[in-house]
Every structure is written in structure tokens, then in C-alpha cells.
Structure 1
Amino acid sequence: MEPLSEHRLVSGPVVYGFLRLVRVPRARQESLLASLAEYCHRHELQLSGLFTDRDAAGSASAAFTGLLDVLGLPDVYGVVAPAMSHLGPKAIAAERGRQIESAGARLLLVRRPSPKSSTVSRRAPVHRTHSGTTRVVDAES
């Protein structure tokens, strides 16, 4: 009998990590790298490399140029970063996000941006069951 597919060694979609580390202590760097590795493990992604931007200006960096180059390789699924801020200051991060998507890759964030305005009614209590899911409970329940 052939083993189930869950028991076969299969590589997940290929992603590349991107970190912006300007004057960051070594312990924080290790923590950020560990968070990328854990995210990829949880989502069955293959972290194939890491690009680190150490430029404070954030505009034109060799790390981001290198990232864009590997996104052109076959079978690359996307880019994983701890948060949008790792792509640079807001205007630069937004542009870099567009460049990643126009290269045909997905931008995956370990920590999603918080919504600016909530569409959930404030009259009923809100209970968070786990990250990414919101359940609204009526006052009678």
C-alpha cells in the first residue's frame, strides 16, 4: 500500500524572506528570522533565502533589487516579511508591495496591518477566537 500524501516529503511553495534591519540588536534580528521560519513552517512554505536591507533611507537598496531578481525565477510563490514596515517607510513600502505583486508574487506578512476602521458594530461585545477571526456575540448569548 502506498503512503498517504501527508506522509510524503513534499516541498511547499517557494518564498523568500525580506527584513529591514537598521540599527537592530542581534537578539531582535534572530527573533525576526525565527518568526519568518515559524510562519513558513506553519503555512508549509519553503523559505529559500533571506534578503536583508540595512539602508536607513530605504529607497534604492541592493537587497530589494536582489529580491525582485529572484521573483523572476520559476516556481517562486512570494515574499514573506514580519510586517509592511520591513519594506521601508510607508510610501516606499506601498510601492515595493506593488512591485512584488507586479512580479507575479504574493506578499505574505507575519503580522497583518491593523484595520483603520472596523465594520463591526460596537454595541455587541467582540470576542477574538484566534488571530484573523472575529466573532460577534449577541448580548443574550
Structure 2
Amino acid sequence: MDLLTEHRPVNGPVVYGFLRLVRVTQARQDALVAALAEYCRTHELNLSGVFSDREATAGSSPAFTGLLDVLALPNVYGALSPALSHLGPKAVVTERVRRIEAAGSRLLLIRRPAPAPLSPIQSETTGGHRPLHASFVEGES
């Protein structure tokens, strides 16, 4: 009789991490990398590498270009980041999310974005429920 899948060494979907490390201590960097690794461990993902933006750029960066390159590889599930803020300054986040999606990948976030408050009209028309945002997969941690 064969062992159950849970008892076999099975590789989870491949993801690559992305961190924005502008003026961050080594301890903070280590903690962020550890958080990515722990998220992958608990969600059965295979963290194959981490790209780090170390400059406060508003445009393209070598780290983000590298991330897009690996997302184009076969069998890569997506990109993982602690929060949307790690994709860069607010002015470029939307474009970077679009480019990740255009590469056919998912963007997984460990920390959910803060929800915008509902207006009284939205609250009445949606029954108080917020519409789901489909451009990324929210983490549960």
C-alpha cells in the first residue's frame, strides 16, 4: 500500500518573494525573510528565492525586473510579499500588480490591505459586505 500524499515529500507550488528594504536594519530584513518562509511552510508553498528592492525608486528596479523574469518561467505559481507597500511607492504599486498579473502569476500577500470604509450608500446596497478584490490573494496570517 502506498503512503498518503501528506507523508511523502511533495513540493508545493513555486513562489518568489519580493521585499522593499529601504533603510532597513539587518534584523528587520531577517525577520521579513523569515515571515515569507513561515508563510510558505504553513501554506505548502516552495519559496525559491527572494528579490529585494533597496532603493526608493518610482520606476522599474533591477529587483522587480528580476521578479518578472522568474515569474515568466514555467511552473511558477506567483509572487509573495508581506504587504502591498513592499511593491514600492504608492505611485507604482498598481502598475506593478498589473505587471505581475500580466505575467500570468498571482500576488500573494501575508498581510491584508486595510479595507476602505464603506459609504452609507455602499453599506445599504451591499448589505454591509465589502466586494472582494481579485487582483491578489490575501493571506490569512
Root mean square deviation of aligned Cα: 1.5
| Counterpart residue number, 2:104 | 104
| Counterpart residue number, 2:37 | 37
Shift of 1:75: 0.3
**What amino acid maps onto 1:65 in structure 2?**
T
**What amino acid maps onto 1:29 in structure 2?**
Q
| Counterpart residue number, 2:135 | none
Shift of 1:57: 1.8
Higher Rg: 1
Contact 2:19 2:87 (C-alpha < 8 Å) held by counterparts: yes
What number of residue pairs does the alignment pair up? 123
Give deviations 1:110-129, integer Å, cap 9, x for gaps: 101011125576xxxxxxxx
Runs of 4+ off more than 6 Å:
none
Q: Provide the TM-score with structure 1 as the length reference.
A: 0.82
**SS of residue in 2 equivalent to 1:30:** helix
| Counterpart residue number, 2:62 | 62
Pairing of 1:6-21 with structure 2 (within 5 A):
6-21=6-21
**What amino acid maps onto 1:28 in structure 2?**
R
Shift of 1:91: 2.2
Structure 2 CA distance, aligned partners of 1:91 and 1:100?
16
Classify 1:54/1:71 alpha carbon distance in 2 versus 1 (closer, same or farther; 3 Å).
same
Structure 1 CA distance, aligned partners of 2:117 and 2:85?
20
2:95 paired with 1:95? yes
Shift of 1:34: 0.6
Structure 2 CA distance, aligned partners of 1:78 and 1:60?
19
Which structure 1 segments of 5+ residues have no match? 122-130, 133-141
Structure 2 CA distance, aligned partners of 1:21 and 1:59?
16
**What amino acid maps onto 1:46 in structure 2?**
N
In terms of fraction of residues, the more strand-rich structure is 1
| Counterpart residue number, 2:78 | 78
In terms of fraction of residues, the more helix-rich structure is 2
Structure 2 CA distance, aligned partners of 1:76 and 1:57?
26
Give deviations 1:76-127, integer Å, cap 9, x for gaps: 0000001000000112011101100110000000101011125576xxxxxx
